[in-house]
Chains A and B, each alone.
Chain A
Amino acid sequence: MTSAVTTLVPFEKVLETFDPTMGLEVHVELNTATKMFCGCPTEFGAEPNTQVCPTCLGLPGAMPVVNGAAVESAIRIGLALNCEIAEWCRFARKNYFYPDMPKNFQTSQYDEPICFEGYLDVEVDGETYRVEIERAHMEEDTGKATHIGGATGRIHGASHSLIDYNRAGIPLIEIVTKPIRGTGAKAPEVAKAYVAALRELVKGLGVSDVRMDQGSMRCDVNLSLAPKGSEVLGTRTETKNVNSLRSVERAVRYEMSRHAGILSAGGSILQETRHFHEGDGSTSAGREKSDAEDYRYFPEPDLVPVAPAREWVEELRGTLPEPPAVRRARLQEAWGFSDMEMRDTVGAGALELVEETIAAGAAPQAARKWWLGELARRANDHGLELTEVGVTPVQVAEVQGLVDAKTINDKLARQVFEGLYAGEGTPAEIVEKRGLAVVSDDGALSAAVDNAIAGNPDVAQKIRDGKVAAAGALIGAVMKEMRGQADAGRVRELILAKLT
């Protein structure tokens, strides 16, 4: 740990002197039923060491066998990233001694990745950046170590560690970009947009849950600065396990400011891994890179090479879904959303939900309004994903159907959603049980309007004198008497009919 206090250079100032170069390494945990090299289940959140066998525990004599479904997923990810697919490649042992990998090596790929030389286009503020992909290779996840005795589960000051090997051996695809240059002030946003685009793409393929909060997608951020205009890359740092989209952006921003502070003071950057801290968005020193990088890779003798037949690759290419960018453009056109409405919908992770709501019969703008308004607010208040708020797209369409039929208004619809969160039945049942239907009986409405006119003679006179805009005050009074259960449009018609 370095204790030297670093002066951070304000972000805008960094760009006056330096150009950033980024490299992003993203690990995606596949959602196969079983592990990469053995038949153990991969379910998240199981009791410790209940999903293990001799192979993933590295017991003597156990032999690995490759999960064909994982290879298929790897190829599909590669194809979606416009990669070449290797005609022949091998696994390799990455040797290191650390108890999260009981074999004392991780089975990975080294100089023969299954996918290589691809790209992913990402958009920031209407501008497209092409992020080139160096490789996407297959490997296995490690076990989970919990450090006991140190502060907040960190290794520093720990007395011992407890290891759960349920995660050891779960298939991972590691996707590595080439150096990303020329993004300047947009570097933090390009990094975030890349990870977001990758998440959407992998999700669309259906090969991973890509839940950053559960670790099924993890990002390491490499960053270096070079003097403006220089072709020579600076020394990089690697910030490990940056586990939300927002954190990716913040980690890039922080490291740019920190590097600039050190370089501007005449110092040099130490090549090291760093830890990201969610609390204040800072990073702290991890391990120095120098000889710890000596993994003594060699080809895995217990596994035979993978040589995907070209026919199989082409068959898999045929299974790829519509690319996210193409799909978004098609949906935006069909729904008539503005660029900003579309960006907000995608950004909120609501694209599928809005699509399903529209498919269930709601108008596009109504579907967007509920998911990005009422339901987004609830997700935000309770720290939930939109998919977890307890309301389905079909239910949203039903609620909107009730609004369209003038059975309820938007305000009453919010109460219907509350009933849905509480599991009180279908929207129609909730309207019935809670007595939420607007009063369409003109007799009752008419009486309420008469009361409002009688109670507000000044306002009524203004309307008689032609100031129609004053009707708002009477509508408010009627709605209050009707406890919100009236159609404001109809109330207005009745008021104007009586006074003009």
Chain B
Amino acid sequence: MPEISRDEVAHLADLARIDLDDAELDHLAPQLNVILESVASIQGVAGDDVPPTSHPIPLVNVFRDDVIRPGLTPQEALSGAPEVDEQRFSVPRILGDEQ
């Protein structure tokens, strides 16, 4: 049975840039474990003859022609942005370093 520890939840929260306090971690770890248990029960059904799958439909090679299609105007693209400057998305100072 898989089990997710409080430390693992804290690590995942860190990766996802979600700030969780101690009480939230205590609260979330058991909840996530319930979800994992549910998923594990599905694993019990899958026999050895069922390969792991990443896509439900057995298709390959769905390609698009290299032809330009109209996209959004800059005004449309930026319309949902909280802050805009010089026709660009303005975002808060990025913590940490460049990826």
Contact = CB atoms under 8 A, between A and B. Distances in A.
A100 interface: yes
Contacts of A294: 11, 15
A79 interface: no
Given A53-B72, A65-B64, A145 B77 contact: no
A457 to B, nearest CB: 76
A67 B93 contact: no
A307 B67 contact: no
A306 B88 CA distance: 34
Interface string A51-81: 1111011000000011111110000000000
A90 interface: yes
B93 A163 contact: no
Interface in B55-93: 55, 57, 59-74, 77-78, 83, 85-93
B54 interface: yes
B93 A160 contact: yes
A485 interface: no
A51 B71 contact: yes
Nearest to A288: B97
A40 interface: yes
B74 A162 contact: no
Given A52-B77, A162-B86, A301-B54, A67 B91 contact: no
A214 interface: no
Interface range on chain A (Cβ under 8 Å from partner): 35 or more
Nearest to B86: A162
A39 B68 contact: yes
B90 A162 contact: yes
B74 A68 contact: no
Interface stretch (A14-22, A42-50, A175-183, A363-371): A42-50
B94 A287 contact: no
Q: Which of B17, B61, B67, B86 gathers most chain A CB within 10 Å?
A: B61
Interface stretch (A30-38, A133-141, A220-228, A404-412): A30-38
B98 A301 contact: no
A493 to B, nearest CB: 63
Interface string A367-409: 0000000000000000000000000000000000000000000
Contact of A97 (B17, B55, B66, B78): B17
A161 B85 CA distance: 10
Contacts of A50: 73-74
Given A39-B71, A68-B65, A163 B91 contact: yes
Contacts, number: 151
B38 interface: no
A162 B94 contact: no
Interface residues of B, number: 40
B89 A158 contact: no
Contact of A99 (B62, B66, B68, B91): B91
A34 B69 contact: yes
Nearest to A171: B66
A324 B27 CA distance: 62
Determine chain A's interface SS by DSSP, over half rule: loop
Contacts of B70: 39
B97 A32 contact: no
Given A34-B66, A304-B59, A287 B98 contact: yes
B2 interface: no
A249 B73 CA distance: 42
Contacts of B62: 65-66, 303-304
Majority DSSP secondary structure for residues of B touching A = loop
B94 A159 contact: no
A23 interface: no
A49 B60 contact: no
A360 interface: no
Given A48-B88, A98-B99, A40 B68 contact: yes
Given A98-B94, A287-B97, A53 B60 contact: no
A47 B74 contact: yes
A67 B88 CA distance: 26
Nearest to A68: B63
Contact of B98 (A155, A164, A306, A307): A155
Contacts of A164: 87-88
A307 B92 contact: no
B16 interface: yes
A45 B38 CA distance: 51
B72 A34 contact: no
B97 A90 contact: no
A48 B83 CA distance: 15
B96 interface: yes
Interface in A266-308: 273, 286-287, 291-292, 294, 296, 298-301, 303-308
Contacts of A65: 62-64
B86 A52 contact: no
Report the 9 A-B pairs with minimum CB-CB distance, sorted nearest first. Answer: A39-B69, A68-B63, A53-B71, A299-B54, A287-B97, A69-B66, A162-B88, A307-B60, A65-B64
Interface of A: 32-34, 38-41, 47-54, 56-57, 65-71, 88, 90, 95-100, 142, 145-149, 155, 158-165, 240, 273, 286-287, 291-292, 294, 296, 298-301, 303-308
Given A47-B74, A95-B15, 16 more contacts: A34-B68, A39-B69, A48-B88, A53-B72, A68-B66, A71-B63, A90-B54, A145-B98, A149-B93, A161-B94, A163-B90, A165-B89, A286-B97, A291-B11, A299-B55, A304-B62
8 contacts: A34-B67, A34-B68, A39-B67, A47-B74, A50-B74, A68-B64, A68-B66, A291-B11
